[in-house]
């Protein structure tokens, strides 16, 4: 199986399924090629499944189960982000094998995940394994540009399933993480399962003045006004707190922790001020405890000697569960004052937090422990980045994000970057992981 499985991944990588917000830049013949490839490589899925296409290229494949129990949903996307070809050591769409790795854009994000999932399903079908529940494969073709786009494959498929009254037992997508447990007093690798996602918001701050020549400036320019507002927002950080997801995470990690952190974290309410202070020092832990707000873009006048009539700064905001687009707007407006106009773009609320005390979650936890017995702990966590799976919150008992491969930190850095690659050994283990997971989840 493994040789064919590697070849299937190589073939998938060779399709240049690059996503652009400007859809006219997308080469849809490459998406068609990808679909044709998987049709050839996974004949049993395509023979047994009911296949529907949405927005042209997103695929919904339903494999019927024996019972009427709530179905399971396995998500993935086969689009990728663009490459800067000159920085690659191997051709980004070559699917080259070198030193035990397959190289190429999408090997980790996330064709490796998608193909290993398809391998697992195909293999179960070849063993004549009978699904108890319906199994839905939801494969999006434009995840990288966001589920908020009106033609998002994931959102369109979700709307279709919602109309049919489908309610999943569980939905699984990309996005879990493997971390070094050291900073939490744990010796070794910790697997994190994403149980929710922060919200997203772009805030445009604008100051307007009459403009004029820069040789006779007013007391404060429009540009300085918005800069001041942006600085105010970064200095007055949103309050940090433990939310449902972080509480569930620390509860799950606690048994594996060593003293003194074990003691501190098991008395979290008592040591809250201390723990929050320490944890908000670092950007990665701060991000799971508070809403973050950071200035990312600025625009002013068109020439160095001209005052801006309109100066704007865009801040990117990631909203913690418990807060909302509305509450963020109110706080921002009261901080920057009435003279600054606050406009919201691309607002998405934080998701609810999927439970980690139900059988659906336990299946993922159990499977992870079985296949990766050397991991020191498995725990739920809040994702700070967005995935397509957010659209299924409210349509499943649990929506979970998993990392099926034991990817090393160094290799994780190649995601959305140069020389993306997956270790073949990890990829093959991922297929076995998915087989067990799907077997349990679908029965």
Q: Which of 421, 409, 415 is nearest to 101 (CA)?
A: 421
- For residue 396, state whether it binds Zn ion (rule: CB under 5 A): no
User: Pairing mode, if any, of strands 72-77 and 135-140?
Assistant: parallel
SS3 call for 315 = strand
| Among the listed residues 109, 122, 388, 411, the single contact to Zn ion using CB under 5 A | 109
Element (H, E) at 95: none
- For residue 115, state whether it binds Zn ion (rule: CB under 5 A): no
Least separation in angstroms between residue 207's CB and Zn ion is 37
SS3 call for 35 = helix
CB-closest chain residue to Zn ion: 109
Nearer of residues 131 and 405 to Zn ion, judged by Cβ:
405
Nearer of residues 109 and 197 to Zn ion, judged by Cβ:
109
Q: Which of 228, 230, 176 is nearest to 203 (CA)?
A: 230
How far apart are the C-alpha atoms of 195 and 118, rounded to whole Å?
23
The neighbouring-strand residues paired with 383 are 197
Nearer of residues 80 and 307 to Zn ion, judged by Cβ:
80
Listed ranges 104-112, 127-135, 304-312, 405-413: which one lies at the site for Zn ion (CB under 5 A): 104-112
- For residue 79, state whether it binds Zn ion (rule: CB under 5 A): no
Least separation in angstroms between residue 377's CB and Zn ion is 25
Residues with Cβ within 8 Å of 408's Cβ and at least 6 positions away in sequence, in order, are 423
Using CB under 5 A, count the residues that bind Zn ion: 2
Element (H, E) at 431: helix 424-441
Listed ranges 59-67, 87-95, 109-117, 359-367: which one lies at the site for Zn ion (CB under 5 A): 109-117
- For residue 80, state whether it binds Zn ion (rule: CB under 5 A): no
**DSSP category for residue 268:** T
Nearer of residues 110 and 227 to Zn ion, judged by Cβ:
110
Q: How far is CA 73 from the centre of its chain?
A: 16
Q: Which residues of 128-159 are buried (b: 16+ CB within 10 A; e: fewer)?
A: eeebebbbbbbbbbbbbbbbebeebbbbbbbe
Least separation in angstroms between residue 267's CB and Zn ion is 38
Nearer of residues 109 and 119 to Zn ion, judged by Cβ:
109
What angle, 0 to 180 degrees and rounded to 10, lies between the N-to-C axes of helices 111-126 and 424-441? 50
Nearer of residues 83 and 279 to Zn ion, judged by Cβ:
83
| Among the listed residues 13, 61, 108, 110, the single contact to Zn ion using CB under 5 A | 110
Listed ranges 43-51, 110-118, 248-256, 376-384: which one lies at the site for Zn ion (CB under 5 A): 110-118
Joined tokens for residue 78: 């086969």
Nearer of residues 113 and 290 to Zn ion, judged by Cβ:
113
Least separation in angstroms between residue 77's CB and Zn ion is 6
Least separation in angstroms between residue 143's CB and Zn ion is 6
List residues near Zn ion by CB under 5 A: 109-110
């Amino acid at each position: 199986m493994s040789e064919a499985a590697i070849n299937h991944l190589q073939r998938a990588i060779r399709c240049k399924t690059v996503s652009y917000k400007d859809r006219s830049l997308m080469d849809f013949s490459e998406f068609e090629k990808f679909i044709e490839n998987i049709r050839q490589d996974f004949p049993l899925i395509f023979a047994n499944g009911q296949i529907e296409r949405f927005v042209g290229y997103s695929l919904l494949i339903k494999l019927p189960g024996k019972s009427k129990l709530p179905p399971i949903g396995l998500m993935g996307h086969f689009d990728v982000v663009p490459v800067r070809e000159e920085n690659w050591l191997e051709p980004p769409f070559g699917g080259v094998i070198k030193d035990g790795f397959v190289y190429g854009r999408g090997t980790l994000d996330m064709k490796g995940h998608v193909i290993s999932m398809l391998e697992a399903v195909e293999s179960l079908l070849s063993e004549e394994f009978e699904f108890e529940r319906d199994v839905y494969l939801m494969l999006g073709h434009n995840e990288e540009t966001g589920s908020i786009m009106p033609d998002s494959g994931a959102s369109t498929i979700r709307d279709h399933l919602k109309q049919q009254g489908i309610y999943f037992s569980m939905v699984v997508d990309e996005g879990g993480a493997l971390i070094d447990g050291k900073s939490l007093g744990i010796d070794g690798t910790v697997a994190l399962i994403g149980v929710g996602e922060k919200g997203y918001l772009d805030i445009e701050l604008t100051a307007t003045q009459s403009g004029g020549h820069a040789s006779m400036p007013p007391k404060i320019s429009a540009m300085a006004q918005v800069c001041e507002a942006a600085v105010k927002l970064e200095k007055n950080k949103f309050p940090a707190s433990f939310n449902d997801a972080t509480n569930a995470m620390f509860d799950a990690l606690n048994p594996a922790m060593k003293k003194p952190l074990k003691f501190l974290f098991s008395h979290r309410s008592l040591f809250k001020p201390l723990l929050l202070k320490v944890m908000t020092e670092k950007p990665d832990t701060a991000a799971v405890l508070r809403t973050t707000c950071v200035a990312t873009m600025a625009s002013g006048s068109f020439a160095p000697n001209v005052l801006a009539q309109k100066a704007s700064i865009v801040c990117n905001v990631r909203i913690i569960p418990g807060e909302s687009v509305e509450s963020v707007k109110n706080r921002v407006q009261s901080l920057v004052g009435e003279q600054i106009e606050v406009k919201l773009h691309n607002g998405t609320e934080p998701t609810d937090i999927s439970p980690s005390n139900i059988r659906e979650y336990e299946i993922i936890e159990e499977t992870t422990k079985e296949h990766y017995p050397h991991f020191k702990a498995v725990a739920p966590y809040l994702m700070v980045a967005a995935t397509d799976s957010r659209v299924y919150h409210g349509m499943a008992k649990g929506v979970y994000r998993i990392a099926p491969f034991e990817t090393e930190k160094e290799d994780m850095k190649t995601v959305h970057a140069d020389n993306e690659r997956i270790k073949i050994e990890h990829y093959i283990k991922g297929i076995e992981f998915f087989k067990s997971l799907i077997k349990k989840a679908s029965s």
